[in-house]
Chains A and B, each alone.
Chain A
Amino acid sequence: MMIELFVRFFLIGAFTIGGGLATIPHLIELSQVTGWFDEKFLMTMIAISESTPGPIGINMATVVGVKSAGLFGGLVASVAVSLAGIGVMLLIAPSLTKYRNNILLKRVLKGLRPAMIGLILSSAFILWSRTFWDLMFSPILLGYGLLLIILSWVGLEFFKLKSFQIIVLCALCGWGLSFIL
Chain B
Amino acid sequence: MPKILEIFISYFKVGLFTFGGGYAMLPVLIDEVVKKKHWFKEEEVLEGYAMAQLSVGIIAINTTTLITARKFSMSLALVAAFATMLPSILLLSVVGLLLQTIAISHTLGLIFLSIQVGVGVLIAYTLLGLVSKAAISPYGYALILAIMILFLGFKVSSILLVACAIGVSMLWGDHL
A residues with a Cβ closer than 8 A to B are 11-21, 24-26, 28-29, 32, 40-41, 43-44, 46-50, 52-59, 62-63, 65-67, 71, 74-75, 78-79, 81-86, 88-90, 92-94, 96, 99-100, 104-128, 130-131, 134-135, 141, 145, 148-149, 152-153, 156-157, 162-164, 166-167, 169-171, 173-175, 177-178, 181
B residues with a Cβ closer than 8 A to A are 15-22, 25, 47-48, 51-62, 65-66, 69-70, 74, 77-78, 81-82, 84-85, 87-89, 91-93, 95-97, 99-100, 106-107, 110-127, 130-131, 134, 136, 140-141, 143-148, 151-152, 155, 157-159, 161-163, 165-166, 168-170, 172-174, 176
User: How far apart are A83's CB and chain B's nearest CB, in angstroms?
Assistant: 8
A54 in contact with B170 (CB, 8 Å): no
- In angstroms, Cα B107 to Cα A61, docked, is 27
- In angstroms, Cα B12 to Cα A3, docked, is 27
- In angstroms, Cα B62 to Cα A15, docked, is 14
A85 in contact with B56 (CB, 8 Å): yes
A85-B65, A118-B145, A148-B114 known; A13 and B57 CB under 8 Å? Answer: yes
B152 cross-chain contacts in A, Cβ below 8 A: 122, 125-126
User: How far apart are A55's CB and chain B's nearest CB, in angstroms?
Assistant: 4
- In angstroms, Cα B47 to Cα A43, docked, is 34
| Nearest opposing residue in chain A for B144, CB measure | A118
Given A17, A121, A170, which contacts B118 in the complex, CB threshold below 8 Å? A170
Given A55, A83, A128, which contacts B60 in the complex, CB threshold below 8 Å? A55
A25 in contact with B158 (CB, 8 Å): yes
Question: A-side binding surface: helix, strand, loop or mixed?
Answer: helix
Given A56, A112, A148, A169, which contacts B169 in the complex, CB threshold below 8 Å? A112
Find the residue from A26, A56, A83, A104 having the highest chain B CB count within 10 A.
Answer: A56
- In angstroms, Cα B169 to Cα A156, docked, is 33
List 9 interface pairs A-B (beta carbons < 8 Å), by A numbering: A18-B53, A24-B123, A55-B22, A56-B22, A66-B93, A85-B58, A109-B173, A119-B161, A164-B20
User: How far apart are A73's CB and chain B's nearest CB, in angstroms?
Assistant: 9
Given B19, B74, B165, which contacts A53 in the complex, CB threshold below 8 Å? B19
- In angstroms, Cα B92 to Cα A106, docked, is 35
B52 in contact with A89 (CB, 8 Å): yes
